[in-house]
Chain A
Amino acid sequence: MVIIDPERRELQAVLDRLPDVPRCRVLEIGCGDGRLTRRYAPRVGPVLAIDPDAALVAAFRGEGVDANVEVRAAAVDALDLPDRAFDVVLFSWAL
């Protein structure tokens, strides 16, 4: 099995940039199979994780989703979200 970022450099780089707010609300764009989402989700509040690839989203759901995480198969240009709904928008290897 391929082991990804055991040094936790990616995770730390993200955590270092989260704002100092309680229950930080995160929109993750390009969550894929949830590899990164699973790593930071325990440290934040509600997460909306999206990816346009339905198969990856299904794989994410298949491995279990944290209670604070909602996963959607969607592209960013199809999202209809209210302004100011999040503390962070994370483009996760997606831009």
Chain B
Amino acid sequence: MVDALSRASRWVEPPLGRVIDLRPAHGVPQVELGPADGRVVSAGALAVDTERETRHRNADAAVRDARARGILTLENEDEFAFYRYADSADELRDYIATKFRHTRMDAPTHAHAASLMRRRPGARLWLREQAAIRELRPAAAAAETPRRSR
């Protein structure tokens, strides 16, 4: 991964070029319902294989390594809640099965979500995942110029 970051640092043009790293933050995505009364109810967390956490740790290590080697500097980082909304527990389960790796909605969480949906007409079902975004710049360019974003 650090090789990819190194190549990316060469592909951007100084002085304003930058590398943006957008990916899941640490933590497990949550299945939740927002009933009409405004209270958020948890249906459970997704089941996550160790490969997912390993991948996140490796990505973090690659960014740290790229910074330590003077390839990139970290300009800023932030986190935000990323939501995916579904009409039913089945739809959300099938979406996760198709789109996610090393992550799934297990049977108890699916059943709990379906039950909550039945008992709360008008409720909205969603998956909440914490996402992280980092802005990195080639170290030489960052030393020469102030940061500008639009």
Contact = CB atoms under 8 A, between A and B. Distances in A.
A84 B95 contact: no
A13 B20 CA distance: 10
Contacts of A79: 7
A68 to B, nearest CB: 18
B8 interface: yes
A14 B20 contact: yes
Contacts of A63: none
B95 A2 contact: yes
Contacts of B22: 10, 13-14, 90-93
A35 to B, nearest CB: 10
Interface residues of A, number: 36
Contact of A87 (B16, B80, B92): B16
Contacts of A2: 84-86, 91-92, 95
Contacts of B59: 95
Interface in B34-82: 59, 62-63, 76, 78, 80-82
Given A9-B80, A13-B22, A21 B16 contact: yes
A19 B80 contact: no
Contacts of B11: 27, 81, 83-86, 89
Interface residues of B, number: 42
A49 B131 CA distance: 21
Nearest to B138: A84
A6 B86 contact: no
Interface string A12-32: 011011111100000101000
A3 B85 contact: yes
Contact of A84 (B3, B17, B20, B24): B17
B13 interface: yes
B10 interface: yes
A41 interface: no
Interface of A: 1-7, 9-10, 13-14, 16-21, 27, 29, 76-77, 79, 81, 83-95
7 contacts: A5-B84, A13-B22, A16-B149, A17-B20, A77-B7, A84-B10, A89-B11
